[in-house]
Amino acid sequence: MSQQLCVENLCVDLGGQRIVSDVSFHLQHGEIGCLLGPSGCGKTTILNAIAGFLAPASGKILLADKEVSNASMQLPPEARRVGMVFQDSALFPHLSVKQNIAFGLKGQSRSDIKQRVDELLRLVSMQEYKDSYPHQLSGGQQQRVALIRAIAPRPPILLMDEPFSSQDSELRVKLAEDVREILKYDGITGILVTHDQHESFAIADHIGVIADGRLKQWDSAYNLYHRPADRFVADFIGEGVFVCGNTVGDGQVLTEFGLVHGEMLNDDYKEGELVDLLVRPDDVIHDDNSPNKATVVAKNFRGADHLYTLRMAGNTRIACLAPSHHDHQIGEKFGVRLKVDHLVVFPS
């Protein structure tokens, strides 16, 4: 399988300040990647460097095994055959929706253009708006049109900067899944920038967590969640908390919940060392028979389940995901126990 995108030791400076430091990752043909991180972490800067809008201070970028950027050479954006979707939809105001989508399909027959436009409009449930103009659409609708306009010519690589930001929260993941399906069908290599981990989980084969301009971990969603490389990734991914404990040896940590057993992902800790154990909401089991009682301090109804915020007797706060028929009120106590398969621990 050929490498479609390769970023090697990329550093980018803006205004004399280093924004991106020593970032490296690659995508094979047809793979989808995501740069995930908080606002201002440098992920859009990396995307702009790949597109050709920013030059590297050092390092290099290759597209389809061809070097397009380094500290002394910069291929212009229009020569890179890269599609890009910005947060600002930037549609042509004088063209209808179908004309906007068809804009990049020159050289094809009318029937082929119509078929492509129709299938993409179906993808984003906007068939009825094909004759509308951008000013007649909502911000979210404009963003969807901009997205499929970029996908329409089947670019070898598609760069997406927060392409779902104007969508309703419940639509974001569904749209991300639909976009993944069409990118995979067309064999388009894609890279998404987002701060929303649910979007990244829905669309990406590989996810890079960015913090302070550095790539913390480039991995699958599963490994980011269950095998985070450092404390930042562990804290940023999921809705986990850190519970204080002492290592006992043989994959065991003594905590306020008692002795917790599991696969110790890092066995460098000595017995009796003070550590923080990562606990996710799905690691906390509602168990009325448990001697460990927690007080409900907040609850979030999600339909099939409740996400409870609980306070233990020792004042530790944890989150617990419980079926919605377990309906407890603020201030009420119920029993909990930990069931942790992978013990992710960091020095306390």
pLDDT tens track for 321-335: 999 888 999 999 999
pLDDT exceeds cutoff 90 at 104: no
> pTM for the whole thing?
0.90
Cα dist. 185→30, 181, 263, 309, 333 in Å?
9, 6, 38, 42, 50
pLDDT digits (tens, 9 = 90+) for 141-166: 898 899 999 999 999 999 999 988 87
Confidence of residue 1 (pLDDT cuts 50, 70, 90): low
| Orientation of helix 110-123 relative to helix 139-151, angle to 10° | 130
Q: Cα–Cα distance between 8 and 28 in angstroms, integer?
A: 14
Token pair for 28: 């094979």
The b-or-e profile of 34-73 (16+ CB within 10 A means b, else e) is bbbbeeebbbbbbbbbbbbebebbebbbbbbeeebbbeee
- The continuous run of DSSP H or E covering 199 comes out as helix 197-203
For residue 328, which of 295, 281, 304 has the smallest C-alpha distance? 295
| CA gap 192, 86 in Å, rounded | 11
Query: What does the mean pLDDT of the chain come to?
Result: 92
Query: Is 3-233's fold the same as 239-347's?
Result: no
- Quick one: pLDDT at residue 139? 86
CA distances 100 to 84, 130, 140, 152, 321, Å, are: 15, 9, 16, 10, 45
For the domain 3-233, what is the CATH code?
3.40.50.300
**Residues recorded for the chain:** 348
Per-residue confidence (pLDDT) for residue 228, from 0 to 100: 94
Would you list the domain boundaries of the chain? Answer: 3-233, 239-347
The string of pLDDT tens digits covering residues 11-24 is: 999 999 999 999 99
* 249-258: burial string, b at 16+ Cβ within 10 Å, e else: eeebbebebe
Q: SS3 letters for 113-136?
A: HHHHHHHHHHHCCCHHHCCCCHHH
Please say whether the beta carbons of 33 and 27 come within 8 A.
Answer: yes
Look-up of token digits 């078929």: 115
Listing DSSP states for 39-97 in one string gives TTSSHHHHHHHHHTSS--SEEEEEETTEEEE-SS-B--GGGS-EEEE-SS----TTS-H
What is the C-alpha separation between 291 and 138, in angstroms, rounded? Answer: 53
- Would you give the distance in Å from CA 68 to the centre of its chain? 26
Q: Are 177 and 132 in contact (CB under 8 A)?
A: no
Q: What pLDDT, on a 0 to 100 scale, did the predictor assign at position 264?
A: 77
Is the per-residue pLDDT at 299 higher than 70?
yes
- With a pLDDT cut of 70, the percent of the chain lying above it is 99
* Predicted confidence (pLDDT) at residue 87 exceeds the cutoff of 80: no
pLDDT at position 184 over 70: yes
Q: Which CATH number fits domain 239-347: 2.40.30.10, 2.40.50.140, 1.10.287.1080, 3.40.309.10?
A: 2.40.50.140
Rounded to the nearest angstrom, the gap between the alpha carbon of residue 334 and the centroid of all alpha carbons in its chain is 34
Amino acid residing at 127 = Q
Residue 265 is encoded by which pair of tokens? 């992902």
Q: Which two tokens stand for residue 7?
A: 């970023």
Six-digit token string for 3: 């490498």
CB-count exposure of residue 16 (10 Å: 0-12, 13-18, 19+): exposed
